[in-house]
Amino acid sequence: MTTKQLPADFLWGGATADFQYEGGFNEGGRGVLSHDYETDGSKNAPRHHTLRMPDGQLITPKSSFILAEDVPEEAQPVFLDNQYYPSHQAVDFYHHYKEDIKLMAGMGFNVFRFSVCWSRIFPTGEENEPNAAGIQFYNDVINEMAKYDMEPLITICHDELPMHLALKYNGWTSRHVIDAYVKYAKALFENFGDRCRYWLTFNEINAVRGFGPTGVRKASGQDRYQAAHNMFVASAKAVTLGHQLMPKSQFGAMYAMSELYPATCKPEDMFHHLQARRENWYFVDTMGRGYYPNYAEELWQRHGVEKLEMAPEDADTLNRGQLDYIAFSYYRSNTTKSGDDWFNVGGSANPYLENTPWGWPVDPLGLRYCMNEIYDRIQKPIFIVENGMGAVDEADANDYVEDDYRIDYLRDHLSAMADAINIDHVPCLGYTMWAPIDLVSLSTGEMKKRYGFVYVDMGDKGHGTLERTPKKSYQWMKHVIATNGAALSE
Ligand code: BGP
C-alpha cells in the first residue's frame, strides 16, 4: 500500500468563519454585519430575514441570504424580538479563544483558518481608521496561537459585508466597495502581516453566481456578474498590495468546488456537464490565470449579462494580482444532466453514493478527483481549506460523543487526499477541517448540524453552557496529525 504519510511541512488545522463562531456581536465597537439579520432555520425551514417598508409593513424575502433578492430599495432590515439570530452569540469564540486555541493545539494543529469580521475592523466600512478594539482582538488571537506554534490562515472576507456598505452601495455591484475592501485589507496586512503568511481574499467567491452576493438588492445575472467582477478586481488589488507589504505572503481565494459529474454518458449530458462545471471554473480561471477565460462571453449570455462595467486598467490589475495558490472547500459531489437549471445542479441522485443526514452525498474519491482537476488546470499549489461532515451528535451525560461516523468520513477523505499528494503528485499546502469546534451552520443556522472534534453545549436557540468537550474524533485526529498521516493506513 502506498504510504499516507505527508510531506514534513504539511499544514494541519481547522477552519471557522466569524459570524458562525465568534459572537460578541455588539462588543468591542463591532458594527452590524449582513449576517446579523439572518434567523435560525433547519433542514426543512430555511433561514430568513425581515425588512421593514416605510409604511411599517414587514416583508420576508424568499432568499435566506440577506438582500440577495429583488427587494424594494426603501426596505430596511430589522431585528424582531421574537426571532433568534445565531450570529449574535454564535459559540462565543470572542470570550473562549484561549480555551479553543489550546484545544486545537492539543490536537497538534500548526495552522488555524479564521475569518476576520469586517465590521469589527471598520464598523460601517467607511471609517478612515480601523477600530482599535477590533485590531486588538485579532492580535490577541494570533499571539495566543503563536504560543503553540500555530500559524494563522486569514480569510479577509467570508461571505459578508458591513451592513452599511450593503445598503448604501447595493453591495458589490458598486466599485466603492472595492475601495472599502482594499482599505480594510491594508489594515489587516499592516497589523497582522508580521505573523501571517497565508491569506484568502474571499471565501467561496463562486457562491456569488448562485446565492447572490451578500447585500445586493437584485438577483439578476447582470448584478451577480458585475459583483463578481468587482470582487475579482478587489482581490487582485489586495494580492498586489499584500505582496508589496509582505514579501513572503502567499495569497489564495477559496472556491466551493465540490465535485460535479455528468449524470449519464449521453453526449448532451456530457456537454451540459462541461458548461455547468465552467460556471465554477469561471471564478478559478479568472483569478488563477489573471484574465477572463474564452468561454466567459457564452456564460454571460446564458445569464442575461448585457455588459459588465470594467475600468480600462482592470485587465492589468487582474493580471498582476494573480493568486499564488488555489484553495477550495470540498464536502460532496453532485451530478448534472442536460435540462438542469444552471443555478441548481446536483438535482440527480447518484446511485453509487450514500448521503449524510443533511442529504450531502459522501464521496472521498471525488476529493482526489477534484485536487487533480484543479492542479491539472491551473498548475499552482492547492490548499484544502474546508472539508468535514455535518451530523447529529448524541452526547452522553458527560457530553461525550462517540462520533465514529465522523472518523470514517475523515479517514476516507484524508486517505484520498494523501493519494492525490503521494501517487498523483499534486502539490497541496495543507488541510483545514471544517470546523474543529462545533459552530452554527451557514445554510441552516442550526447548532444541531455539528462538524467539530469538540462538542459545544449549546442548542439551536442558543441555550446551553457553551462548555467545550472533546469528542472521540478529537483523539483520533490527534493521532493522525502526530504521525503526519501515516496512521491513516492503520
Ligand atoms: C461552506 C462555508 C462555511 C460552512 C460550510 C458548511 O460553504 O464556507 O461557512 O458553513 O460550508 O456548510 P453548512 O454550515 O451549511 O453545513
Q: Give the predicted TM-score (pTM) of the model.
A: 0.96
**Alpha-carbon span 102 to 147, nearest angstrom:** 9
pLDDT band at 490 (very low <50, low <70, confident <90, very high): confident
Mean pLDDT for 106-121 is: 98
CB atoms within 10 A of CB 64: 20
Mean pLDDT for 437-462 is: 96
**Alpha-carbon span 153 to 141, nearest angstrom:** 12
Per-residue pLDDT tens for 81-91? 999 999 999 99
pLDDT band at 21 (very low <50, low <70, confident <90, very high): very high
pLDDT of residue 347: 65
pLDDT band at 342 (very low <50, low <70, confident <90, very high): confident
Write out the H or E segment, with its range, that includes residue 113.
strand 111-115
Atom of ligand 1 nearest to the CA of 388: 6
Compute, in angstroms, the gap from residue 73 CA to the centroid of ligand 1.
29
pLDDT of residue 340: 87
pLDDT of residue 475: 98
Q: Does the pLDDT of residue 34 top 90, yes or no?
A: no
Mean pLDDT for 101-116 is: 98
pLDDT of residue 154: 98
Is 386 one of the catalytic residues?
yes
Q: Does the pLDDT of residue 207 top 90, yes or no?
A: no
pLDDT of residue 208: 81
Q: Does the pLDDT of residue 246 top 90, yes or no?
A: yes
Q: Does the pLDDT of residue 189 top 70, yes or no?
A: yes
Pocket test for ligand 1, best of 156, 329, 389, 432 (most atoms within 8 A of CB): 329
β-bridge mates for residue 434, sequence order = 15
**Residues with a CB atom less than 6 Å from ligand 1:** 17, 20, 203-204, 256, 329, 386, 390, 434, 441-443, 449
Residues 6+ apart with CB under 8 A from 83: 39, 50
SS3 content of the chain, % helix, strand, coil (to 5): 40, 15, 50
pLDDT band at 349 (very low <50, low <70, confident <90, very high): confident
Which residue's CA is the closest to the ligand 1 atom numbered 14?
441
pLDDT of residue 346: 63
Q: Does the pLDDT of residue 62 top 60, yes or no?
A: yes
Compute, in angstroms, the gap from residue 294 CA to the centroid of ligand 1.
31
Compute, in angstroms, the gap from residue 434 CA to the centroid of ligand 1.
8
Per-residue pLDDT tens for 216-229? 676 788 888 999 99
Pocket test for ligand 1, best of 42, 160, 386 (most atoms within 8 A of CB): 386
Q: Does the pLDDT of residue 485 top 80, yes or no?
A: yes
Q: Does the pLDDT of residue 204 top 90, yes or no?
A: yes
> What is the residue-averaged pLDDT of the chain?
94
Pocket test for ligand 1, best of 443, 447, 448, 450 (most atoms within 8 A of CB): 443
**Alpha-carbon span 35 to 249, nearest angstrom:** 29
Compute, in angstroms, the gap from residue 441 CA to the centroid of ligand 1.
6
**Alpha-carbon span 166 to 227, nearest angstrom:** 12
Mean pLDDT for 227-236 is: 97
Compute, in angstroms, the gap from residue 41 CA to the centroid of ligand 1.
14
When mean pLDDT is compared across 36-40, 144-148, 172-176, 344-348, the lowest value belongs to 344-348
Mean pLDDT for 466-474 is: 98
Which residue's CA is the closest to the ligand 1 atom numbered 9?
442
Q: Is 293 exposed, middle or buried (0-12, 13-18, 19+ CB in 10 A)?
A: middle
Tell me which of 259, 279, 373, 386 is the catalytic residue. Answer: 386
Compute, in angstroms, the gap from residue 443 CA to the centroid of ligand 1.
7
Atom of ligand 1 nearest to the CA of 254: 8
Q: Does the pLDDT of residue 254 top 80, yes or no?
A: yes
Pocket test for ligand 1, best of 159, 160, 434 (most atoms within 8 A of CB): 434
Compute, in angstroms, the gap from residue 257 CA to the centroid of ligand 1.
12
CA distances from 454 to 91, 134, 151, 312, 438 (A): 12, 26, 20, 50, 6
Q: Is 304 exposed, middle or buried (0-12, 13-18, 19+ CB in 10 A)?
A: exposed
CA distances from 431 to 156, 189, 219, 330, 367 (A): 18, 23, 33, 11, 12
Per-residue pLDDT tens for 376-413? 999 999 999 999 999 999 988 888 999 999 999 999 99
pLDDT of residue 70: 73
Mean pLDDT for 144-172 is: 94
pLDDT band at 341 (very low <50, low <70, confident <90, very high): confident
Atom of ligand 1 nearest to the CA of 441: 14
Q: Does the pLDDT of residue 343 top 80, yes or no?
A: no
